[in-house]
Structure 1
Amino acid sequence: MLRLTENGIDDIVKSTKRCTEDLHWKILQLQQMHFNEAIVYLSKNVEMLQTPLIVDHNKFLVGYHSENIRQFAPRYYRMSSIFLHQYKRQG
């Protein structure tokens, strides 16, 4: 999963701007750790991760982005959804 990110662990961890003091402290601790140490720490403190984390073979989405999340739906679903939306607008 991390190989699909641009900034590694920083891309999957919650922002320190909008979190509790305890979570803020944990994130600061995480930023000081070596990679393997950070992975173990994250596995024990999953509340630090942004949600949802959606991973496909070559696609990765962190957080909820209504426009981008559609790429993970099967093509037939996306096409039927587009058709249904257009049908409702016309009628």
Structure 2
Amino acid sequence: MIKLFTQAGCNSSRKAHQCFRDHDIAFEEKNFSSAAPTVSELKQILCLTENGLEDIISTRSQSYPAIADKLPDMSFNETLRLLCEQPQLLRRPIIVGRNKLQVGFNDDDIRQFIPRHIRRLNFQQTLVGLVDM
């Protein structure tokens, strides 16, 4: 099952949520505004990243400047605990599938989470529409 990590008031999170609803894709949502991520969840996410913490920390967060100088000196576990305490430092949405990860919302990239048979059907419908033109 797809796990969607979101934050209240985040437009990109709303778009990801709506995309899954529009395609009738089952997902489990965890809103960081009401329930902070666990260390275990963050480790699961980090296992799927290419660049580790760089991929999930939001340097555009209002909280980032206060911790930016401290991050290089923090241990991995200290950084994970910090992210659990201050989830607003995480980029969002974070979408986790079986062996797939997407950080942030992108219309094209989110298609990887749409089952193949639905993507094929949509493609065939598009082709029929082009032929009818």
- TM interval, short-chain normalised: 0.7 to 0.9
* Equivalent-residue separation in structure 2 for 1:30 and 1:56 (angstroms): 28
Q: How far does residue 87 in structure 1 lie from its aligned partner after superposition? A: 3.4
The amino acid of 2:50's aligned partner reads: E
- Which residue is 1:6 aligned to? 50
- Which residue is 1:62 aligned to? 103
Q: Confirm or deny: 8 A CA contact 2:94 2:104 kept in the other structure.
A: yes
The structure, 1 or 2, with the larger RCO (C-alpha pairs under 8 Å, 6+ apart) is: 2
What TM-score do the two structures reach when normalised by structure 2?
0.57
Gaps of 5+ in 2: 1-44
- The percent of aligned pairs where both chains have the same amino acid is 35
SS in 2 for 1:54: strand
- Which residue is 2:21 aligned to? none
What TM-score do the two structures reach when normalised by structure 1?
0.78
* Equivalent-residue separation in structure 1 for 2:68 and 2:106 (angstroms): 23
Q: Confirm or deny: 8 A CA contact 1:30 1:41 kept in the other structure.
A: no
Q: Deviations over 1:31-86 (max 9, x none)?
A: 43110111111011111111111111211111112211100111122122222333
Aligned residues: 88
SS in 2 for 1:71: helix
* Equivalent-residue separation in structure 2 for 1:36 and 1:90 (angstroms): 56
The amino acid of 2:105's aligned partner reads: Y
Aligned mate of 2:114, from 55, 58, 73 = 73
- Which structure shows the higher strand fraction? 2
Closer/same/farther in 2, CA of residues 64 and 28 from structure 1, 3 Å limit: farther
